[in-house]
């Protein structure tokens, strides 16, 4: 049974959810605005334009079970990669293409002041392993000769269908030394999959020295007083991998040996469908290692290139920190196990209904989680019921000591002590549930497994369940059901004596309705299931006996938490009165700032 504290927690959930989206972007923008731009920034491509008619730059195709990699001689790299079993939103035949709006092929090289696609490479498809390897050779105007080998990995390990082996051999054919740190390697481009995809989900990522970093396209905005950024650079001492990602797919290049260098990212404006408004994309690159090639000297570098879905179990099984590409943020400890359990439930329900398996998995996972935290809910409810029984006595104290807030607080503490009630006992169990709520939300938000998966009338659980539009307004059914169940839950909740609180609580379902109306169907299904489960919890709780409120027998010599709090408050009030009368102890501020003697460890 809920009272006002429960609903305050619900309000806090929604506020924190919105703040998690808005202020994380704002903080990143301010950080980017204050970041200095390193000197000698490696060259970056111009912002990409929508693709025109293809040029005659065919560089061959490499194909795995899951991917089709199309290479180009212009730049000598991967022009784009199509995901075989993933399609564009609203399509059953147009495959998702990574680096679709890329400013250059992935793996393209340029020096300072040069375009990443200014080198036209010759290529030779290896005849010894036909269709498994493509070799490019090209010469930069500086005299740097690049030999690139792109090879399919067929070791049968997790993720091998999304990986290419990339070997880069650089030779200085000039008569003078060439500094490699002035050259840049293109990492790829990422853009939203659909028009309303949140900008925060299009990111530039890298792992440096054991720390993972995600930087969304909002960083390119200048903030309140700064101008927009055309490029952001980062210095890396020990780069483990770098790349770009949108909500569901990533392109990541990983040196086989961590290296030092500069990373850069640039924004782009692209139209993901004809005539649609432009959305922000991100392009990224990696400066080559800081070293100098003497004349006729050759250096070789080895990389793995991952292009594919951000599927948690796939990336985790690949090991070597690949799982950190999943952008779960602070809630990864909750989101990752929930994703694992969601997949296990799907494996069970797919035997019952292949079409509805993911929807059933979401419903049952919600029930499992809500059942697991039921003891916390029950404890919170009992505490709040006991607290509500004290309301008449608390009202008397408020009236009696209306002109003396300090005395009123002291008497309140005594009242809590007498009846053994903890005023925050109902809130703490609810607060413990917040990481679970946000972890579940984050997991469903990035679950690529839900793309194109239907349930009941829903065609795609990763999109809103729009049945039709009326006057240009989409009609989404699940958020409507969610609002109705919220009203039912509200009607079952005991009313507080505060009329203002009652009006706020009655407004809550409207707020959630508009806030969640454009949510993906999976998120709306989770929230609706939670509401229905909460209705059942409330009904069962209302059937249970009311907790008794009795004066407790105090144990001599043993002080409770509330007693200690009351004593501290009384002591603080006594000190304030003494200082106000000029009788209190004088605090020597300068003495408190004296340097303490060093510890000797004794």
* Per-residue pLDDT tens over the stretch 252-305: 999 988 888 888 888 888 888 888 888 888 899 888 888 888 999 999 999 999
The better pLDDT of the pair 409, 219 is held by 219
Considering only 19-23, 25-29, 246-250, 529-533, which range has the smallest mean pLDDT? 25-29
Place 14 in a pLDDT band, splitting at 50, 70 and 90: low
Q: Decide which of 2.70.98.90, 3.40.50.10480, 2.60.200.20, 1.10.540.10 is the CATH code for 57-327.
A: 2.70.98.90
The better pLDDT of the pair 274, 29 is held by 274
Q: Are strands 163-172 and 144-152 parallel, antiparallel or unpaired?
A: antiparallel
- Write down the pLDDT at residue 230: 82
Tokens 């969640």: give the residue: 516
Is pLDDT above 90 for 346?
yes
- Write down the pLDDT at residue 386: 67
- Write down the pLDDT at residue 86: 87
> Which backbone phi and psi does 265 adopt, to 5 degrees?
-140, 140
Place 83 in a pLDDT band, splitting at 50, 70 and 90: very high
Entry pTM: 0.75
The better pLDDT of the pair 32, 536 is held by 536
Average pLDDT estimate for 533-555:
72
- Percentage of the chain with pLDDT > 90? 19
- Length of the chain in terms of residues written: 602
* Cβ-defined contacts of 121-124 (< 8 Å, 24+): 121/59, 121/73, 121/74, 121/75, 121/76, 121/146, 121/148, 122/73, 123/59, 123/60, 123/71, 123/73, 123/76
User: Which two three-digit tokens encode residue 189?
Assistant: 């481009």
Considering only 47-56, 152-161, 346-355, which range has the smallest mean pLDDT? 47-56
Is pLDDT above 80 for 580?
no
Give, in degrees to the nearest 5, the angle at Cα 382 between 377 and 387.
125
Considering only 251-265, 314-328, 468-482, 561-575, which range has the smallest mean pLDDT? 561-575
User: Which two three-digit tokens encode residue 549?
Assistant: 């409120």
| 380/511 Cα distance (integer angstroms) | 24
| H or E element at residue 165 | strand 163-172
- Write down the pLDDT at residue 546: 66
- Percentage of the chain with pLDDT > 70? 67
- Write down the pLDDT at residue 483: 84
| 489/178 Cα distance (integer angstroms) | 71
Average pLDDT estimate for 414-434:
66
- Write down the pLDDT at residue 560: 54
Residue-wise pLDDT tens digits, 457-495: 988 888 888 888 887 788 888 888 888 888 887 777 655
- Write down the pLDDT at residue 216: 84
Residue-wise pLDDT tens digits, 235-244: 888 889 999 9
The better pLDDT of the pair 372, 490 is held by 372
- Write down the pLDDT at residue 54: 43
What average pLDDT does the structure give for the chain?
A: 77
Is pLDDT above 50 for 169?
yes
| 119/109 Cα distance (integer angstroms) | 8
Place 164 in a pLDDT band, splitting at 50, 70 and 90: very high
| 94/419 Cα distance (integer angstroms) | 67
- Write down the pLDDT at residue 288: 84
The better pLDDT of the pair 241, 418 is held by 241
- Write down the pLDDT at residue 425: 56
| CA-wise closest residue to 177 among 40, 344, 299 | 299
Average pLDDT estimate for 495-508:
59
Place 32 in a pLDDT band, splitting at 50, 70 and 90: very low
Name the range with the highest mean pLDDT among 16-20, 186-190, 484-488.
186-190
Is pLDDT above 70 for 535?
yes
- Write down the pLDDT at residue 123: 59
CB 232 within 8 A of CB 265: yes
Q: CA of 454: how far to CAs of 169, 467, 547, in Å? A: 47, 13, 45
> Which backbone phi and psi does 106 adopt, to 5 degrees?
-65, 125
Place 29 in a pLDDT band, splitting at 50, 70 and 90: very low
Place 437 in a pLDDT band, splitting at 50, 70 and 90: confident
- Write down the pLDDT at residue 119: 62
- Write down the pLDDT at residue 28: 43
Is pLDDT above 60 for 16?
no
The better pLDDT of the pair 8, 230 is held by 230
Average pLDDT estimate for 74-93:
86
User: Which two three-digit tokens encode residue 169?
Assistant: 């051999």
Residue-wise pLDDT tens digits, 106-138: 998 876 555 555 566 665 655 555 678 888 888
Dihedral sign for Cα 476, 477, 481, 482, please. Answer: negative
| 587/602 Cα distance (integer angstroms) | 30
Place 516 in a pLDDT band, splitting at 50, 70 and 90: confident
| H or E element at residue 183 | strand 183-190
């Amino acid at each position: 049974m809920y009272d006002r504290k429960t609903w305050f927690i619900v309000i806090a959930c929604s506020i924190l959810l919105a703040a998690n989206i808005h202020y994380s972007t704002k903080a990143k923008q301010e950080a980017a605005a204050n970041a200095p731009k390193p000197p000698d920034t490696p060259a970056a491509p111009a912002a990409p334009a929508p693709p025109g008619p293809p040029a005659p730059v065919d560089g061959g195709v490499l194909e795995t079970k899951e991917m089709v990699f199309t290479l180009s001689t212009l730049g000598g790299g991967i022009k784009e990669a199509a995901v075989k079993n993933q399609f564009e939103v609203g399509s059953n035949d147009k495959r998702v293409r990574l680096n679709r709006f890329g400013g250059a092929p992935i793996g393209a090289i340029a020096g300072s002041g040069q375009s990443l696609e200014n080198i036209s490479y010759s290529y030779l498809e290896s005849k010894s392993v036909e269709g498994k390897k493509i070799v490019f050779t090209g010469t930069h105007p500086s005299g740097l000769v690049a030999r690139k080998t792109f090879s399919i990995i067929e070791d049968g390990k997790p993720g091998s269908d999304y990986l290419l082996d990339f070997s880069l051999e650089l030779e200085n054919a000039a008569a003078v030394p060439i500094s490699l740190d002035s050259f840049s390697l293109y990492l790829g481009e990422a853009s939203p999959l659909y028009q309303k995809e949140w900008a925060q989900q299009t990111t530039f990522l890298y792992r440096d020295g054991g720390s993972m970093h995600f930087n969304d396209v909002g960083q390119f905005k200048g903030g309140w007083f700064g101008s927009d950024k055309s490029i952001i650079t980062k210095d890396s001492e020990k780069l483990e991998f770098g790349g770009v990602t949108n909500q569901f797919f990533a392109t990541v290049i990983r040196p086989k040996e961590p290296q030092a260098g500069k990373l850069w990212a640039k924004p782009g404006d692209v139209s993901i469908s004809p005539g649609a408004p432009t959305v922000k994309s991100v392009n990224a690159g990696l400066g080559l290692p800081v070293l100098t090639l003497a004349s006729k000297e050759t250096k070789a570098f080895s990389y793995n290139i991952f292009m594919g879905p951000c599927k948690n179990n796939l990336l985790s099984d690949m090991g070597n920190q690949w799982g950190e590409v999943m952008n779960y943020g602070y809630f990864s400890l909750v989101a990752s196990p929930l994703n694992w359990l969601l997949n296990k439930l799907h494996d069970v329900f797919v035997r019952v209904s292949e079409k509805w398996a993911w929807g059933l998995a979401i419903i049952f996972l919600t029930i499992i989680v809500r059942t697991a935290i039921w003891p916390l809910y029950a404890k919170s409810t009992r505490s709040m019921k006991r607290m509500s029984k004290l309301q008449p006595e608390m009202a008397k104290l408020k009236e009696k000591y209306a002109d003396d807030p300090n005395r009123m607080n002291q008497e309140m503490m005594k009242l809590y002590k007498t009846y053994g009630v903890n005023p925050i006992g109902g809130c703490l169990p609810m607060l413990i549930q917040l990481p679970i709520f946000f972890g579940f939300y984050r997991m469903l938000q990035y679950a690529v497994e839900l793309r194109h998966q239907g349930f009941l009338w829903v065609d795609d659980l990763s999109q809103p369940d729009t049945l039709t539009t009326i006057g240009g307004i989409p009609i989404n059914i699940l958020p409507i059901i969610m609002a109705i169940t919220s009203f039912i839950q509200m009607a079952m909740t005991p009313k507080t004596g505060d009329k203002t609180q009652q009006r706020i609580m009655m407004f809550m379902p409207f707020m959630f309705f508009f806030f969640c109306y454009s949510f993906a169907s999976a998120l709306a299904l989770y929230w609706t299931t939670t509401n229905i489960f909460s209705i059942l919890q409330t009904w069962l709780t209302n059937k249970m006996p009311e907790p008794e409120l009795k004066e407790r027998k105090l144990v001599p010599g043993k002080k409770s938490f509330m007693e200690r709090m009351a004593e501290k408050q009384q002591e603080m009030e006594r000190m304030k009165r003494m200082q106000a009368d000029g009788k209190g102890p004088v605090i020597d501020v300068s003495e408190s700032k004296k340097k303490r003697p060093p510890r000797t460890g004794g």
